[in-house]
Amino acid sequence: MRIGSIVIDVKDFDRMLTFWQKALGYAPGRPLTPDDPFMILKDPAGKGPNVSLDGMEPYRNRLHLDLYTDDPEREVERLLGLGASLFRPREDGEDFVVLADPDGNLFCVVDTRG
């Protein structure tokens, strides 16, 4: 498992997208869709973690980690055993589950198998 993306919940999506693209020199991971206020910015060199901007109404911390793994069931079980708790299970069409660390901070475990 690795940190795949640092996710920032933002109020002004367009402004923050422009800022973080210029600040980091990262490129959008896909074409921008006008009705979808979510974007993964990627390091063009492929060395740094992604930075994702989420303009949807936040229900978690303003900043959280997406942990990428090709074995999400095993990793979720391992993290629960370390003291994490299930905040929200994986829903149909999603590739992630939301957990909380022992202090209540939310993070996602993302299935990278495609």
Domain range for 86 is 2-111
CA–CA distance, 87 with 9 (Å, rounded to integer): 18
What pLDDT shows up at residue 57? 76
How many CB atoms within 10 Å of residue 107? 22
pLDDT in tens, 25-82: 999 999 988 888 999 999 999 999 999 999 877 666 788 999 999 999 999 999 999 9
Total domains, the chain = 1
pLDDT in tens, 76-106: 999 999 999 999 999 999 999 999 998 888 9
Looking at residue 88, which CATH number applies to its domain? Answer: 3.10.180.10
- Backbone phi, then psi, for 34, in 5-degree steps? -55, -35
pTM: 0.81
